[in-house]
Amino acid sequence: MATLKILQVCALDTTAETMLQPLLLALQNAGHEVGIACADTGAASKLAAQGFTMHDIPIERKIDWTSNWKTIRSIVQILKDEQYDAVHVHTPVAAALGRVAAKRAGTKHIVYTAHGFYFHEKMGRVTYQLTYSVEKWLARFATDYLLLQSQEDYELANRKRFKNTTRLMHLGNGIDLTRFYPRPRQTTGPFTFLFIGRIVEEKGILELLTAFEQVVSVQPDVRLMIAGEMMESERDQTTKHTFRKRIREIPNIDYLGFVEDVPELLHQVDAFVLPSHREGVPRSIIEAMATAKPVIATNIRGCREEVVDGKTGYLVEVQDETQLARRMLELVEQPDVASEMGRAGFERAMKHFNEADVIKRQLNLFSNL
């Protein structure tokens, strides 16, 4: 097997640490030399201590031509100075800029993992067509291998000829199943829901608060735990102000901020809820399923690939607060059904969402470049 010098490009070091680290370590253990280009927000030193070469570059998580062009030039310089054999890009804006830079630098292999195409069915027609066209153009002219976590994205990319089928891969998504396992709740108490995600509008957090307000008006003891950061690097800086106000108005909500031990947190709750407007293939749902929790999620790409409606949980329509509240109440009022859904979710997670399989597919690709 030939070993490569691979540059991983993503927006933030926290993304590399929390989402990409298992792949990075597997590549390193296979003999590849791994560098990471991203913005340093505090996690870069920990990644450097693991032997990864860190390149601190500012990456705006939105379209800003002046800043974006500076990022492209920085990545081009890194690629030329360090003579990387391959570039592997992640996250929408960083992936676009990284591929343009790799093409300009003449990098031999350009690999893009689409954790979820940025365009989705809930967008307006003009915005959808614009982002769709950009993704398709970059896939055709600035990508050698396109890896899709979502089955729906894979089928679309294949049908619309983003790349030749031999250059497309349905990658899937998964978690370390040895860390997540079912366990009875360690504390007795009222039925408790859990949300894990960024505190931004597109995660559906404001609809969740309104729905929970309806739930607690019927079942006064039910609780909601919320884990997630309010990061200064987010494009959405307004939702957090509404969020702070609303959680003071609604009873029985525990806001935990960032939580490191997610398995332990899941063992403290009865069900998981994620009413996102847009997702790739969310790991948080897989983690909840692997701990045998029923899941309520929105009927969107990614979520509907994980949750089987009526069997492992429920799918609700985006921004439908009334339907969300009704499904939450059904779980509260039918704990036996909730437990049965949790067990079915556990079996599905064990069968379809093993991180080791996802990593193996990527290792095989890089070994054959």
- What predicted TM-score, i.e. pTM, was given to this entire model? 0.90
Over residues 312-323, the pLDDT tens digits come to 999 999 999 999
Alpha helices by DSSP H, 123-175: 125-141, 151-159
Q: Are 284 and 195 in contact (CB under 8 A)?
A: no
So what's the pLDDT on residue 230? 76
Structure token pair of residue 345: 């979710």
Burial (CB < 10 A; 0-12, 13-18, 19+), residue 283, is buried
Tokens, residue 14: 């926290």
**Using one digit for the tens of pLDDT, what is the confidence trace for 64-88?**
788 899 999 999 999 999 999 999 9
| Model confidence pLDDT, tens digit, residues 81-107 | 999 999 999 999 999 999 999 999 999
Q: Contact at 8 Å (CB) between 50 and 25?
A: yes
**Cα 344 to Cα 338: distance, rounded to the nearest angstrom:** 10
> For residue range 98-132, what is the model confidence (pLDDT) as tens digits?
999 999 999 999 999 999 998 888 888 999 999 99
pLDDT tens readout for residues 311-369: 999 999 999 999 999 999 999 999 999 999 999 999 999 999 999 999 999 999 999 99
141-150, 165-174, 234-243, 273-282: the lowest-pLDDT one? 234-243
Q: Are 32 and 61 in contact (CB under 8 A)?
A: no
Task: Dump strand ranges (E) for 149-207.
Answer: 168-170, 192-196
As a residue count, the chain comes to: 369
Amino acid at 150: S
Write out pLDDT tens, residues 206-257: 999 999 999 999 999 999 999 998 766 666 678 889 999 999 999 999 999 9
> Over pLDDT 90: what percentage of the chain?
88
Q: What is the pLDDT of residues 280-297, one digit of tens each?
A: 899 999 999 999 999 999
Q: Domains in the chain, start-ordered, CATH in brackets?
A: 5-174+354-367 (3.40.50.2000), 192-352 (3.40.50.2000)
Residue 59 is predicted with a pLDDT of 85
Closest CA to 250 of 207, 209, 286: 209
Contact 168, 182 (CB under 8 A): no
Gap between the Cα atoms of 234 and 201, Å rounded: 11
Return d(Cα 300, Cα 279) in angstroms, integer.
7
| Euclidean distance between CA atoms 265 and 241, whole angstroms | 25
Q: Is there a contact between 270 and 293 (Cβ–Cβ < 8 Å)?
A: yes
pLDDT at 121: 82
For range 256-278, the mean pLDDT = 95
